[in-house]
Amino acid sequence: MGEETLPERDDCPAANGHDEHQHKPQPEPPLEPQLEHDGDTVVTDAAPESVSTGETHDSPNTLPTTAGRSPAETEVEVKQEKRTIDDVDFEDSTHTNGKAEVDISQKSVIVPAVPPKVTYIPLKTGLCYDVRMRYHAKIFTSYYEYIDPHPEDPRRIYRIYKILAEAGLITDPTLSGIDDIGDLMLKIPVREAKPEEILQVHTEEHLKFLESTPSMTKEKLMEETEKGDSIYFNHDSFLGAKLSCGGAIEACKAVVEGSVKNSLAVVRPPGHHAEPDAPGGFCLFSNVAVAAKNILKNYPESVRKIVVVDWDVHHGNGTQKAFWDDPRVLYISLHRYEAGKYYPGTIAGAHHQVGEGKGEGTNLNIPWPIGGMGDGDYIYAFREVIMPVCYEFDPDLVIISSGFDAADGDMIGQCHVSPAGYAHMTHMLKSLANGNLVVVLEGGYNLDSIAVSALAVAKVLVGEPPGQLKTTVPKIEAVETIDKVIEVQSKYFKSLKPGHSAVDHSIPSGDGNKNFNLQEAIRFQQAHDLITRHKLINLPILNDKLSNDTENQILATPDIYDSETIIVAVHDPAEVWGKVDPVTGLINPNGSLIIDSTLKILEWSKKEKHGYIDVNIPEADDSFNTAQEVLLYIWDNYIQYFKAQKVVLVGYGDAYSGIVHLIGHRDVRDVVKAAIAFIDRKPLRAIVPLVDEAVTDWFFKNSLVFTSKNHSCWGIDGSETKKPRRKFGRVLKTDVDGLDNIVEERFDEAVDFILDSIEDYESSSS
């Protein structure tokens, strides 16, 4: 016998989950009618029995009438045998908890049922995938290449497609690329890009070269592989490149035409390194650039502006070049840069590369100075720069050059973006361009990392919320990089103006200029204090090749010529803690402080009656070379003619590079007894011994280099236990961050080292 169906009643104990012996309904007080007047309709929440003729209503819910009577008197005709409100028979109604449930079919229709007036939600997410793109592969020349395959592995797209099926986003049991892939995603057929489409970006010579590869001999293909810039070829490479490029075009077309709400192009080979006239960096055609150019050409009314966000860990030099002077496309790239040393190894990815001509201000690079960047850094970049700029640019289509080589676990990128990080970035970009978003695969070389990252992006595309982030706190290097980017890009985007007012940061020389560099004023005050309070004198620089303004850049104690021991302090301009207006970026002088970290060594030198030289190295684009030249000049023209037998070199900040250069280029070992450096997070400088090879060992023995706890030489999270090489000197990790904090923490240790070095010299010479 089947289960008995229980009646759905509030007074049924089995229905409401209570035992009938425990369920004892309590009498309710009579309710006043709560009336709402809607046109000709009166609705009451009270039981019909509570409505009576002639009842006076003093409730605040009583509706006023022109006759001064209550709504019950004017709108409700009450009869003893039958009570009616707007011709609705309460005797035909169901009473529940003292309320009348009225059959809607007996009431006049106010809002008829209509289909949902939405166009985005009912659509599926498009998916481009074709197994033929896996045929492009490196020709194996040895067994080792078979067991350790090329990082741009054909399995990359297979693993992404497979995990989409495992997660239920698509249905394809055989993983063969069938047409009907389920309810969430729609298969977008992949086709070969046409020559006229490719030529929108690439030169005819470039296209002809790739057209020739299917007919090349195996030996010729291997020769071209060796000659190329991180690329390989086989007989199917040209087909794979055309399919990859054509897939990107079709993914964009499907979104623009409204066939899908957004799309994911799981394609290879990647494209963003391919320049107009040459392949490179695993890329044959510039897929995203070709797709964007053709969309702009074929849909001029619906797509006028496109944003390309490239979060591949490498700079997309090919995509950037394709739109360098095109104001219709805003190209944004977040990438590992390392002063241009990271692939592709040029300055094209620098933050000051902004485009030219009509395209000036539509190229935005966010160059990470180190590896190891993670969720907090990328989300910070999106929040502070990318999203404000994209909102202001107001695109009609957004394309993500989605490399996953910044993902946690990728050994090439060595960064730590989590799947949730990629999901959050995708979620933010979905808010642009009415949701017209296309994700096109670029790099990513750890098969597990690329799969889970792509899955996280795909889930957001179909409508899932992003997952929880690993961290939201950016690294110091990220904050500094973003500040540099904003300083440059605030010229082109009003949304970046707060804190960076429209001041021309270039300081031209000449009389009448209302702007001047603050470091000049700071040095003027610093020199004034050293001269008046500490009685230092100026040591002139008689060399036109050095800075034009050398007045008071080198100061010394009056007895410097006769001092037996000299302390030489070489430093960057004094640091400033500024109280900054958040809107204009102007500094409030009254609330700002100059922090001079060199005063402690000066006071100690005076106490010990040592000679002292203060060397200020003005910060400029070539300050590294300036420090080198100034130190050589001081040594060649002053110190070697003094009576000093013991010299101690103390460097602060990046200016210490001049000390390292001096020790490598002059034989100072008979006179210099110690070299101390407080460098915070400035780069380590390796000694280049032009005198003899023993200088490296001498430098390591006689130096102390104090770094921040967050210095990159100690690894991404400061856990690196392997010390830097001896050519950098004896490098020590402090427990603090910030130059002044490091000096405070390690000054006594530095002084003890100086005293030991001097005493060792005195004991050996006696």
Which is nearest to 364 in space by CA: 406, 335, 395, 342? 335
**171: exposed, middle or buried (Cβ count in 10 Å: 0-12, 13-18, 19+):** middle
Residue 506 domain-assigned (yes or no)? no
Residues 87 and 174 in one domain: no
What are the pLDDT digits (tens) for 384-410? 999 999 999 999 999 999 999 999 999
Residues 50 and 146 in one domain: no
Angle CA 432–435–438, to nearest 5? 95
**Residue where one domain finishes, among candidates 42, 75, 106:** 106
Confidence category of residue 505, pLDDT binned at 50, 70, 90:
low
pLDDT tops 70 at residue 5: no
Which is nearest to 614 in space by CA: 634, 628, 595? 634
What are the pLDDT digits (tens) for 238-265? 999 999 999 999 999 999 999 999 999 9
- What is the CATH classification number for the domain harbouring 729? 3.40.50
Query: Could you give the residue numbers annotated as active site?
Result: 273
Mean pLDDT is lowest, of 181-185, 437-441, 624-628, for: 624-628
pLDDT tops 70 at residue 562: yes
pLDDT tops 80 at residue 656: yes
Compute the CA torsion angle 51, 53, 57, 61 (nearest 10 deg).
Answer: 40
Residue-level pLDDT at 97: 52
Residue 522 domain-assigned (yes or no)? no
Residue-level pLDDT at 511: 53
Residues 94 and 137 in one domain: no
Confidence category of residue 507, pLDDT binned at 50, 70, 90:
low
Residues 318 and 198 in one domain: yes
Residue-level pLDDT at 63: 42
Residues 168 and 283 in one domain: yes
What are the pLDDT digits (tens) for 285-323? 999 999 999 999 999 999 999 999 999 999 999 999 999
pLDDT tops 50 at residue 73: no
Residue-level pLDDT at 586: 82
Residue 316 domain-assigned (yes or no)? yes
Q: Considering the chain, what percentage of its residues have pLDDT values greater than 90?
A: 70
At 544, list the tokens.
């036109």
Distance CA 630, CA 546 (A): 8
pLDDT tops 90 at residue 356: yes
pLDDT tops 70 at residue 268: yes
Residues 289 and 437 in one domain: yes
Cβ atoms of 405 and 373 within 8 Å: the answer is: no
Mean pLDDT is lowest, of 579-583, 596-600, 654-658, for: 579-583
Confidence category of residue 594, pLDDT binned at 50, 70, 90:
confident
Residue 534 domain-assigned (yes or no)? no
Residues 91 and 232 in one domain: no
Query: 174 pairs with which residues across the strands?
Result: none
Residue-level pLDDT at 672: 97
At 126, list the tokens.
């498009």
Q: Which domain holds residue 673?
A: 560-610+621-765
Residues 66 and 148 in one domain: no
Helix axes 237-256, 287-298, angle to 10 degrees: 40
Residues 392 and 429 in one domain: yes
Residue 547 domain-assigned (yes or no)? no
pLDDT tops 50 at residue 90: no
pTM (2 d.p.) = 0.74
pLDDT tops 80 at residue 195: yes
Residues 480 and 606 in one domain: no
- What is the CATH classification number for the domain harbouring 389? 3.40.800.20
Confidence category of residue 365, pLDDT binned at 50, 70, 90:
very high
Cβ atoms of 98 and 108 within 8 Å: the answer is: no
Residue 17 domain-assigned (yes or no)? no
Residues 66 and 167 in one domain: no
At 404, list the tokens.
């996953």
Distance CA 248, CA 286 (A): 10
Q: How many domains does the chain have?
A: 3
pLDDT tops 50 at residue 615: yes
Cβ atoms of 423 and 224 within 8 Å: the answer is: no
Confidence category of residue 548, pLDDT binned at 50, 70, 90:
low
**Residue where one domain finishes, among candidates 77, 106, 135:** 106
Cβ atoms of 304 and 256 within 8 Å: the answer is: no
pLDDT tops 80 at residue 726: yes
Distance CA 554, CA 538 (A): 6
What are the pLDDT digits (tens) for 7-31? 343 444 344 444 444 444 444 444 4
Q: Choose between 138 and 6: higher pLDDT.
A: 138
**Residue where one domain finishes, among candidates 476, 496, 516:** 496
What are the pLDDT digits (tens) for 460-485? 999 999 999 989 999 999 999 999 99
Residue-level pLDDT at 146: 78
Helix axes 237-256, 204-212, angle to 10 degrees: 130
Residues 101 and 152 in one domain: no
Q: Name residues whose C-beta falls within 8 Å of residue 383's C-beta, 6 or more positions apart in sequence.
A: none
Q: Which residue has the tokens 């010990």?
A: 608
Mean pLDDT is lowest, of 309-318, 503-512, 525-534, 544-553, for: 503-512
Q: Choose between 95 and 696: higher pLDDT.
A: 696
Averaged over 38-59, what is the pLDDT?
Answer: 42
Residue 682: C-alpha distances to residues 2, 516, 651, 685, 713 (Å): 79, 26, 12, 9, 10
Residue-level pLDDT at 521: 86
Residue-level pLDDT at 748: 97
Q: Choose between 757 and 8: higher pLDDT.
A: 757
Residue 516 domain-assigned (yes or no)? no
Confidence category of residue 717, pLDDT binned at 50, 70, 90:
low
Residue 533 domain-assigned (yes or no)? no
Distance CA 326, CA 328 (A): 6
Q: Choose between 155 and 765: higher pLDDT.
A: 155
Which is nearest to 461 in space by CA: 430, 434, 431, 486? 430
